Structure 1
Amino acid sequence: MAKVDKSWDITENGTDLDKAKELIANREIPATEIAKISKVPRGSISNYRNGITSIDKASWKVVKRLAGTRDLLKYRDQVATRSFSLFVEDFNSWFKNASESNVENDDPMTEVIKSLHSYVSTDPILMAHLYQHYALR
């Protein structure tokens, strides 16, 4: 049987599997907190931590949830700032202006811009990544 590559989402922070492993290895974060955020049972998290079950054999859904939880915990202090709120205001304003200018020109990109705004603005991890670029200017 061929080896399955679990590199579903590769970013500068590694794959989702790398992120899940990092979260599981960080014993400073209680299993109960990880379970509450990720919706992965606390018993499963304990089994991964204690080597009873290998995270390498976890389902894609579990790995994705754990990776998302790791990202959320990593960025939660950053997004609870006034600077992040200003970024969100600027971000929303830019998309509003872009879509309004295209509506006036009957541009078919209007719906694309609106959809893009909707997808991006509802993804807290993506917004946190974008904020890092904004904050560096």
Structure 2
Amino acid sequence: MTKSTHPDLDEAFIARQHDRLVTLRLQLTESADATAVEGGEVRDAAGDEPGDGGDDGDRLEQLANEEALLARNEQRLADIGRALDKIREHTYGMSDGNGEPIARDHLEAVPEAIYTTEELRAREKHL
């Protein structure tokens, strides 16, 4: 590992973050695989059996929750990939949006962060 252009990040911190990102990517991939299997089981369980409206509603709600989780995990996996690219590019910790440094404590909490907290708040207001 080599030093980032971020003024507050040392090589040891970046190496730890790299390891955390690789582990997190593996965990999310395994979780996504398990969720996909569970979603298939829910669909299979419905089969051609007649059910009441409550059963159908429960299954639909469970499928919607699993789809939301999969979508969130897909976004996190993309961000993890981007963060790992940034480590290789020596730009880890610098925002993809405004180029400013991302706070170290934010990176510790969310190692895949690619935007500053201010940028994230602004993005949420526009959604």
Q: Under a length normalisation based on structure 1, what TM-score does the superposition of the two structures give? A: 0.31
Q: Which has the higher contact order (CA 8 A, sep 6+)?
A: 2
